[in-house]
Structure 1
Amino acid sequence: MAQIAVEHVEDGLHPNEVVVTIRTAENQTEEVAVDRRLVENNRLRASEVGSQHERVLVELPRETLSGS
């Protein structure tokens, strides 16, 4: 299980949900709404899919709000 640094956390639409902002390898920001139990100490738990050249590909718990 990978842990991704979270830049910002805010309440989501449901009491058990938060919206987090993460930074991609291309230095872009993405927002994703997740269960608040997946975020601890400004880290989001995600599944590691693979890695190459010091970059890690992860599968987020849900699709980002931008859809990418």
Structure 2
Amino acid sequence: MAVRENTIRLHQQIKNEFTKLSNKTAHGVQVYSLNYILHEVAHRYCKSPKTVENIVFNRTVTANYVPTQSEMFNPE
């Protein structure tokens, strides 16, 4: 099954948002906890925190997706 470009783009946006929030510091200390970041990103993208966690830590099909030869040479 081919991974849709929209799904890849959405996952990249989620990862970027997660990175942006996790890199925010004040006085040399991370401002937001991991739990807060997962819930905040999940709320913004209408996903569950577990789904966001799986996307961010590459536990999804799209992270491990390798196209087959027929998909590479016969795009639909």
Q: Give TM-score, length-normalised by structure 1.
A: 0.23
Say which one has the larger Rg: 2
**Structure in which a larger fraction of residues adopt helix:** 2
Q: Give TM-score, length-normalised by structure 2.
A: 0.22
